[in-house]
A and B are shown apart, each in its own frame.
Chain A
Amino acid sequence: MKQSRRNFLKFAGLSAAGLCIAPTAVMASGGSSGGAQYEVNSNHLQAKRWAMVVDTRKLNTEEAIEALAETCHHIHNVPSIDSNQDIKWLWSGTYGEVFPEQENNFPSEAQEKRRFPLLCNHCEHPSCVRVCPTKATFVRPDGIVAMDYHRCIGCRYCMAACPYGSRSFNFMDPRPHLDMDNINKKFPTRMRGVVEKCNFCVERLAVGEMPACAEESGGAIVFGDLQDPDSNVRKALRENFTIRRKPAAGTEPGVYYII
């Protein structure tokens, strides 16, 4: 973990161009009005193409993934709603749910027991961006598929288009389902009628922090620059056999799974 940190700090404050990109990141995540918020500082992390490698040998229990999800959901003010109109940024599924087209009739014991973390893949060719009629969903130059909640009209076309079920719609006002005394005041809450999803923690990258799930995973999730041959994600990809979800969909996911 330490090493990957250092790797990224190399990029920190490298170019002024980064400062032009990063403010969009904060805006994209909602840009709360007034008070404390994430502001791009000189520590901000940069990459040509952010990507994530999940080591499912180390991270595979419901509880472990649930703990990461709780952190993610807490810092992003994701409500907990007990119905099928709920919001999920990070959650877990069985092998069959995560890789439905690559199921095996005689799975290994390990594979059968494991749970796999699920989140937005920040695809290279995201169908959610292709269909969005307002550019409320867009790809940033660093490969993160971000959202502008203020522009989203709630047509849910992106939900129909995402082959990974990564998007959630605020069917109802999310605020009554949040512990309002305990929210993260630096990150905005959403309103009803807009779509949301994992944002690869753009707001944390902007201040030089790694995504919360990567940071808390104890090394099971590595996060880094796919375009940099020396990055920790490239190292992980080089040394392990990895698969991605639904390769047939042609979206080129940015999340890789070590099985």
Chain B
Amino acid sequence: MLEKALKGGPKYWAWIGFLLLIIGAGFCTYIGQLQEGLTITGLSRDVAWGFYIAQFTYLVGLAASGVMIVLPYYFHHYKKFKGMVIMGEFMAIAAVVMCLGFIIVDIGQPQRMLNIIFHPTPNSILFWDMIVLNGYLILNVVIGWTCLECDRQRVSHPSWVKPLVYTSIIWAFSIHTVTAFLYAGLPGRHYWLTAILAARFLASAFCSGPAILLLVVFVVRKITKYEPGKAAIGTLTTIITYAMCVNVFFFMLEVFTAFYSNMPGHMHSLVYLFAGEHGHTELVPWMWTAAIFAIVSLALLIPPKLRYNQKLLPWSLAILVIATWIDKGLGLLIGGQTPNPFNEVTVYWPTGKELMISFMVYALGALTLTFLYKIATDVKRETGELTTED
């Protein structure tokens, strides 16, 4: 089926060329980082994890979100998701590719990366994160590819795929739980040191991930006439709405715990993020944007009339994505490390080079996704599944 990715019109190739251009430019910057070290980033002794790791965290959510389609389809036999399943699985592959990319660019000595395998250390959550991420990648590649190939040849899916699918559903929860454990188990980082962090991660993943997936699917629909079906879109939007409600609720729980208990350590990060501390207010406009966008997205998604309005939906979803991205792809990482262990504020802001390298990883993910979706939609076209309106 791979050859399908190599056939396409001029627009397809222009898009591929554009992505390659970004990858090329980002890679040159990355070579620079390899030579000079992470000093080209805005990181410091106090904020040692920044934009790269934040994007990694956000994208793990995107990877895990495919389960919101796969689970209803396999566990509840919700047949309307049939056309979307492969989209979710392929999105997960692209997301994990980006996750791994962000980890690689973040490591100070990437040539020693395999030390994690040569010296396995089960007491380190990073070790488990590596296992669950790579496991999830393999699961989705095997399942997605096998099912698509079977669809193409019009044979039913082999029986051994089912147990793998069930494994992958549980696995999806594990990848985001383990990623949350990376942060949740650290003493002295109060913003992360909360039992609800894994639950928050899942809630935010299950709203932002399907939202991104739907936005991408809308673009795919425009280009290829692939039709996921109104009912499928509606159900997924409902799932997104519920997950966003839970996500906002969980965040309020954190706010309550911090401020009602009045424990300084628990309040500091929130105060820094939403009001600024020691005269540093860099993140305040961002965090309030996130808060307002979160409320607006809920206002646009909760009333069924607005939720099922196809014209409005892409905007509601985009607003939701921005809100969750600021919360998790920016605030969470910086908030956890600010104030630092000495109660001081060191400002972190990603540098241009850092962003350039991040664009490279994002473009790599987009390229993977383009190839995979191209193959999937071509196969669906062949099998006549493309325009199943209901």
A binding-site residues for B, Cβ under 8 Å: 83-86, 88, 93, 96-98, 100-101, 127, 130-136, 151-157, 159-165, 168-173, 191-195, 246, 248-251
Given A132-B121, A153-B107, A153-B112; A193-B37 close (CB under 8 Å): yes
The A-B contact count (CB < 8 A) is: 144
CB-CB under 8 A from B270, the residues of chain A are: none
B186, A165: Cβ atoms closer than 8 Å: no
B107, A154: Cβ atoms closer than 8 Å: yes
B188, A246: Cβ atoms closer than 8 Å: yes
Interface size class of B (residues with CB under 8 A): 35 or more
Q: For the complex, what is the distance from the CA of A155 to the CA of B129, rounded to whole Å? A: 13
Distance to closest chain A CB from B348 (angstroms): 9
Q: For the complex, what is the distance from the CA of A161 to the CA of B125, rounded to whole Å? A: 12
CB-CB under 8 A from A88, the residues of chain B are: 45
Distance to closest chain A CB from B267 (angstroms): 13
Interface centre among A84, A93, A168, A249 (most CB of B within 10 A): A84
At the interface, is chain A mostly helix, strand, loop or mixed? loop
Given A84-B44, A171-B39, A172-B37; A193-B342 close (CB under 8 Å): no
Q: For the complex, what is the distance from the CA of A155 to the CA of B48, rounded to whole Å? A: 9
Partner of B48, one of A96, A100, A159, A193: A159
- 8 smallest CB-CB distances across A and B, nearest first, come from A154-B108, A163-B188, A193-B108, A165-B341, A84-B44, A97-B342, A172-B39, A249-B187
B binding-site residues for A, Cβ under 8 Å: 36-39, 41, 43-46, 48-49, 106-110, 112-113, 115-116, 119, 121, 123-127, 130, 182-183, 185-189, 264-265, 336-337, 340-344, 346
Partner of A93, one of B37, B110, B126, B342: B342
Q: For the complex, what is the distance from the CA of A163 to the CA of B185, rounded to whole Å? A: 12
Partner of B187, one of A93, A127, A133, A169: A127
A251, B108: Cβ atoms closer than 8 Å: no
Partner of B43, one of A157, A168, A171: A171
Distance to closest chain A CB from B336 (angstroms): 8
B341, A162: Cβ atoms closer than 8 Å: yes
10 sample A-B contacts, Cβ–Cβ < 8 Å, listed by A number? A86-B45, A133-B116, A154-B108, A157-B126, A159-B45, A160-B48, A165-B341, A169-B38, A169-B48, A171-B43
